[in-house]
Amino acid sequence: MESERILSYDKDNTERKQLVLDLIDEERAKATVRLMAYRQRMKQNYIKRVIPRAFQVGDLVWKKVKPIDDVSKLEAPWVGPFKVVEKLRSGAYYLEYQDGRRLERPWSANHL
């Protein structure tokens, strides 16, 4: 006894399957275009919300205090002022204290 699947098999199925396989490249291209448009919208929304900060060598800046468990909410969230000594290409800055001691690592403009 033949199964329902074998009884309902149509020779046109192979042709239909081949048509679907032929159209798969077009579907992938459409998906790629939609993904690129989505990424562009995400980028525009991000750029809209970003506050650009640029400092020059010699500027005085304050830096955020990193939250430590013993820091209370009544303490100041900023420390400084610090002098900008060097600007890196990535948007980070080397800082030094007012007395000339240099901080050991660069700081991102997001934290200044």
Q: Which residue has the tokens 């468990």?
A: 69
pLDDT of residue 31: 96
pLDDT of residue 94: 92
What are the residues whose beta carbons fall under 8 Å from the beta carbon of 84, sequence distance 6 or more? 55, 56, 57, 58, 59, 60, 61, 93, 94, 95
Q: What percentage of the chain carries pLDDT values higher than 70?
A: 91
Q: Please give the model's pTM, rounded to 2 decimal places.
A: 0.53
What's the mean per-residue pLDDT of the chain? 84
Render pLDDT for 54-96 as a digit per residue (tens, 0 to 9): 888 888 999 887 766 666 677 787 888 999 998 888 788 999 9
pLDDT of residue 70: 64
- Per the model's pLDDT, the better-predicted residue between 99 and 37 turns out to be 37
pLDDT of residue 66: 72
- Per the model's pLDDT, the better-predicted residue between 83 and 52 turns out to be 83
- Per the model's pLDDT, the better-predicted residue between 94 and 18 turns out to be 94
Q: Name the pLDDT band for 42 (thresholds 50, 70, 90).
A: very high
pLDDT of residue 68: 63
> What's the rounded Cα separation, in Å, for the pair 104 and 81?
16
